[in-house]
Structure 1
Amino acid sequence: MARSSSPPPSARPVGSATRGTTNPNRLRRMDRWIAATHGPQLRRTADPVAVDLGYGAAPWTAVELLDRLRTAHGDTQVVGVEIDPERVAAAKPYERDGLTFLHGGFEVPLPGAPGRSPALIRAANVLRQYDEAEVVAVWARLCARLAPGGLLVEGTCDEIGRRHVWVALGPEGPRTVTFAARLAALSTPSDLAERLPKALIHRNVPGEPVHAFLRDFDRAWAAAAPYGALSARQRWIRSARTLHAAGWPLTDGPHRWRQGEVTIRWDALAPGGTGA
C-alpha cells in the first residue's frame, strides 16, 4: 500500500462523526494487547507517536492509551483525533505532556513536521457505522499513514469492554484477528460474534471462515467444560489448544490466552477464504 503525507491543516476531515459513546476503561483489553505485542516496535521507533482515532464524546480512551503505552516506551506521545470539533474543544483541557487533541478524520493529522507518520493508529468502534464495502478503502488510507513498522488496530467492543474483537494491520494490510473477553462473563466464544469488526460481522454465516472458526471454538469450549471446574481461564486455554491442534493458525500462546485472548492469522478468517 502506498504511503501518503499529512494533509494541510485546512483540509476538510475525511469521514463522518460516530455516536461518540465512550466509557473509562472500555478499551483496556485492546490497549494491553497493543502494549504487549507492539511494545518492542515502539521501543525501536525514533518518533513513538500513537493516534486514538475517533475517541468520542469524552477523551478517556486517549488518556488511558498514553498511560498504557508509556509502560512500553516512556516517550510515547498520543494524539486524539476527532472529526467533531466540539469534541476536540471539550478534550483540550485534558492535554498534557505527550497528549494532544486535534480535529481530523481518516487523513490522520499530526502536530509537528509535515509528513510525520504515526507508529500506531487505534480505531475502536469507528467503522461500525460504515458499509462493509467501504472498509478496505479506509484500511488502505489509514495503513498508508503508518510509519515503517507501524500498526493499525481496528475493532469493536461492547460498552464496558467485556467483549472485544479487533484486526491488526501493517502497511501491507491485515495480519491478525484477536478475540478478547472477560471470561467469567462469557457463555460461549460465539458470544463474541456480535462484536466482530465491520469487515467480518456480516460474514458470520455458513460457508464463511469466521463462522467455521466460531463454530469450532464453541465445540472446543464445550469439550473443555470439565476444565471450568478449575477456572474459566483454564477452560479457555484448553479450548485454544484444541483449536490450534485442529489446524487453526493461532499466532499467540498460553501467555496471551491467560489474558482471555486468542489471536489468529487474518487469512484464515478473511471473507471468502477456506478457513482451517
Structure 2
Amino acid sequence: MTARATARPVGTVTRGTTNPNRLRRMDRWIAAVHGAELRRAADPVAVDLGYGAAPWTAVELLGRLRAVAPRTRVVGVEIEPARVAAAVPYEREGLTFRHGGFEVPVPGRPQLIRAANVLRQYDEGEVAAVWRRLCARLAPADPATGARGGLLVEGTCDEIGRRHVWVALGPEGPRTVTFATRLASLDRPSDLAERLPKALIHRNVPGEPVHAFLRDFDRAWAAAAPYAAYGARQRWMRAVGDLAVDWPVTDGPARWRQGEVTVRWAALAPRG
C-alpha cells in the first residue's frame, strides 16, 4: 500500500444536506450534559464530523459550546475537499476546517466528536466498527479526577431539526439514546422512529427493545391526553414520567421540558 493510499480519508461522501439551526437540539443537549467535561479539559477540542456542503453547523457548535466552556475549539472535518475549501473563509479564532473522515485528523484526543446525519447512508453492519474507531479517538477517562472522557454523539434528524434521535458514546462504548422533538409538531412519540440512527432504525420491529419502547411511549402519550389541555409540554412530561416507571430514563424534568428524553443504551440495544 502506498503512502498516498494510507493517507486517504476513511469513509464516503455524504449528500451534504444542511440548514442553519438544524442541530440546535443536539447542541443544547451536548452543552448541558458535557459542558463540565469541556470546562475541565486542558485543551477542549470538539469535532464536527461530516458537517456537509456548508459550514453552518460547525459555526453554530462553536457559539453554543463556548457559552458553557469558553476555551472550546471546534474543528470541522469533511471528506469532500471542495466542501473544506468552501468552509475555510469562515474560519476564525477557535474554528478551523480540515479534510478527513473517520480517522479524525486532529492532534491529540478530542473531548467531543459530533457525527450528525453521517451514518444514515451506511449499512447497519458497518456502524459498530465506525463507533469503535471514533470512540478510540476520544479523550480517555481519568478515574483520578473523575473525568468520564470524551463523548461521541451520533444521530439523525429531519431537514429543519424538529425531530432528532442520537446515541451518546464514551471511550467505553454506547451509553444512552436521546429522543428530542419540537412538541408542537408531534402527533405521537413513535413519529420519531423515522429519525432513529442507523444502529436502531431497522430494529423497530416486534421483538426488538426499541419497538417495545416506542410502543410503550405511545401508550403513555395516549394516557396523558387529558394533560394536552395544559399544552403539549405538560402532556410530554406526564408521558415521560409514566414511561420512566418501566424504562431506565436517565434525565429529569429539566430536560423533559425541552422535548427530550434520554434512556440507557442497554435497554434499547438490538438483540442478536
Question: Under TM normalisation by the shorter chain, which class is it?
Answer: over 0.9
User: 2:196 corresponds to which letter in structure 1?
Assistant: L
Deviation at 1:125, TM superposition (A): 0.1
How far apart in 2 are the matches of 1:123 and 1:244?
Answer: 28
Deviation at 1:11, TM superposition (A): 1.1
- In the TM superposition, 1:206-221 aligns within 5 A as 206-221=206-221
2:83 to 82, 87, 96: 87
- Find the counterpart in structure 2 of residue 256 from structure 1: 255
Deviation at 1:257, TM superposition (A): 0.2
Q: Deviations over 1:189-232 (max 9, x none)?
A: 00000000000000000000000000000000000001011010
- In the TM superposition, 1:57-72 aligns within 5 A as 57-72=53-68
- Find the counterpart in structure 2 of residue 131 from structure 1: 123
Deviation at 1:49, TM superposition (A): 0.3
User: 1:170 corresponds to which letter in structure 2?
Assistant: G
- In the TM superposition, 1:16-31 aligns within 5 A as 16-31=12-27
- Find the counterpart in structure 1 of residue 266 from structure 2: 267
Q: Deviations over 1:67-117 (max 9, x none)?
A: 00001110100000000000000000000000000000000011xxx5x11
Aligned residue for 1:206, secondary structure, equals: coil
Corresponding position: 1:12 with 2:8: yes
Indicate if the aligned counterparts of 2:39 and 2:71 stay in contact, CA closer than 8 A. Answer: no
- Find the counterpart in structure 2 of residue 231 from structure 1: 231
Aligned residue for 2:114, secondary structure, equals: strand
- In the TM superposition, 1:139-158 aligns within 5 A as 139-148=131-140, 149-158=149-158
Question: Runs ≥4 in structure 1, deviation > 6 angstroms?
Answer: none
- Find the counterpart in structure 2 of residue 40 from structure 1: 36
In structure 2, stretches of 5+ residues that fail to align are 141-148
Aligned residue for 2:16, secondary structure, equals: coil
Aligned residue for 1:262, secondary structure, equals: strand
Q: Could you tell me the TM-score, scaled by structure 1's length?
A: 0.93
- Find the counterpart in structure 1 of residue 92 from structure 2: 96
How far apart in 1 are the matches of 2:38 and 2:86?
Answer: 29
User: 1:194 corresponds to which letter in structure 2?
Assistant: E
How far apart in 2 are the matches of 1:45 and 1:240?
Answer: 33
Q: Could you tell me the TM-score, scaled by structure 2's length?
A: 0.95
Q: Please provide the CA RMSD for this pair.
A: 1.4
% identity of equivalent residues: 82
- Find the counterpart in structure 1 of residue 143 from structure 2: none
- Find the counterpart in structure 1 of residue 144 from structure 2: none
In structure 1, stretches of 5+ residues that fail to align are 1-6
How far apart in 2 are the matches of 1:188 and 1:152?
Answer: 28
